Structure 1
Amino acid sequence: MPDFVGRFITLEGGEGAGKSTQLRALATVLRAHGIEVVETREPGGSEGAEAIRALLLTGGQDRWSPRAEALLFAAARADHVEKTIRPALARGAWVLSDRFLDSSRAYQGQGALTDADIVMLHRIGSNGFLPDRTLFLTLPETEAENRTRARDGDATDRIGGRDRDFHRTVADAFARFAAQEPERVRAIDASGAAADITDRLMAALADLLP
């Protein structure tokens, strides 16, 4: 039997919220508690899913139709869950993922597809598997744009490079998920010093710690 109960934690939010930075910081703190931590990301996180990531994030804005894009994300996630996440949880590790289902709901569940469509694809591909806790990093729009520009310059991927209205709709969707599922999704202020943000994230995980 594992010494610890495996936990699946996802970090969500719009471009520039600091998810990748905070995931690494959280992993460091959790390891200091003696917990095995697996750091992963979406799309990606397994051999098959990383191959799909390359297809999704490169090329022109019109490379994939909304339906094809949603199916590719669902396929990548199914492989990620099967090959990486579930085996790690089974041995008692904590899995930290930079994005998961809620990103698909926010980014692909608008326009041609609905939130219900994305959830149905997830039910088919990953048997409806959900995180134990989702940390939604919130940041004012202007600050998020400045961070993204400082990080990427003009080299955005085909999803990150979409217009301001698109990203505003994404932010609204994340906020809606947090309001609808307060036990699973916790909104965390991502402004200020990095160490302070990490403290806020750890506080939101305190009830799950061994």
Structure 2
Amino acid sequence: MTGHFLSFEGIDGSGKSTQARMLADHLRQAGRDVVLTREPGGSAGAEEIRRLVLEGDPDKWSAETEILLFTAARRDHLEKTVWPALEDGKVVICDRFADSTRLYQGITRGDLRGVVDRLHDQMIACEPDLTFVIDMDPAMGLARAKGRQGTEERFEDFGLGLQERMREGFLNLAHEFADRCVVVDGARAIDAVAADVARITMDRLSPDAASA
């Protein structure tokens, strides 16, 4: 595959979705063919699963069931969207990927990281070339997320405690996967964060992937 695969991670309300969109715009202006996608979702089948897991009562699924649902959505997303785009030489920017499952289902809601990793190795076996972890104070992030007043608030409804564990988990993952993860301070002006993301992208990927 000749394309480049980038992902954005962070707690709810960290601004990662905004930064993913801004990087996509930056690279398109530089002449790159970009696919901006998200997880769960990014393909027809995965979007159906997204509605199942992100809406409704916080206790509607066990962590074990969620692992299976997210893995199924990710596999469909890869087959239908990500892999074809990478084979065509495009830059794929994904709002969340496997790191979120490693935390939300694998660590913060039980000691299930081993289960997540085994399923990932067997069914996914794919990691981004570069992952941005947008760091944010959990209380600030949760306030932002709840302020959106959308329908996909199932995980926000677990409360501040989950967001605090998630932040710690993302920082630990960034250390564990230091070869591909970069932590960016998200508690700044949006344009300042975007400038750092664009600069890091140009530094970390090959010149033709992010020339500006």
C-alpha distance in 1 between matches for 2:18 and 2:201 = 17
Aligned counterpart, 2:126: 129
Aligned counterpart, 2:116: 118
**Corresponding residue pairs, total:** 205
Kept after mapping to 1: 8 A contact 2:63/2:105: yes
**1:113: Cα distance to partner?**
4.0
Instruction: Report the secondary structure of 2:148's partner residue.
Output: helix
For residues 171-202 of structure 1, give each alpha carbon's deviation from its aligned partner in whole angstroms, at most 9, with x where no partner exists: 11100011112120110111221111111111
**1:150: Cα distance to partner?**
2.7
Kept after mapping to 1: 8 A contact 2:49/2:73: yes
Q: 1:100 aligns with which of 97, 101, 105?
A: 97
For residues 94-148 of structure 1, give each alpha carbon's deviation from its aligned partner in whole angstroms, at most 9, with x where no partner exists: 001100000001100124342221111112221x100000000001223213322
Structure 1 unaligned blocks of 5 or more? none
Q: 1:196 aligns with which of 188, 192, 198?
A: 192
The alignment-based identity, stated in percent, is 38
For residues 146-174 of structure 1, give each alpha carbon's deviation from its aligned partner in whole angstroms, at most 9, with x where no partner exists: 32233237x55211211211111111110
- The AA in structure 1 aligned to 2:43 is S
C-alpha distance in 2 between matches for 1:60 and 1:32 = 41
Q: 2:165 aligns with which of 169, 173, 185?
A: 169
Structure 2 unaligned blocks of 5 or more? none
Range with bigger deviation, 71-80 or 196-205: 196-205
Kept after mapping to 1: 8 A contact 2:145/2:156: no
C-alpha distance in 2 between matches for 1:113 and 1:76 = 22
Runs of 4+ more than 6 Å apart = none
- The AA in structure 1 aligned to 2:110 is A
TM, length-normalised to structure 1: 0.92
Kept after mapping to 2: 8 A contact 1:44/1:52: yes
Kept after mapping to 2: 8 A contact 1:67/1:112: no
TM, length-normalised to structure 2: 0.91
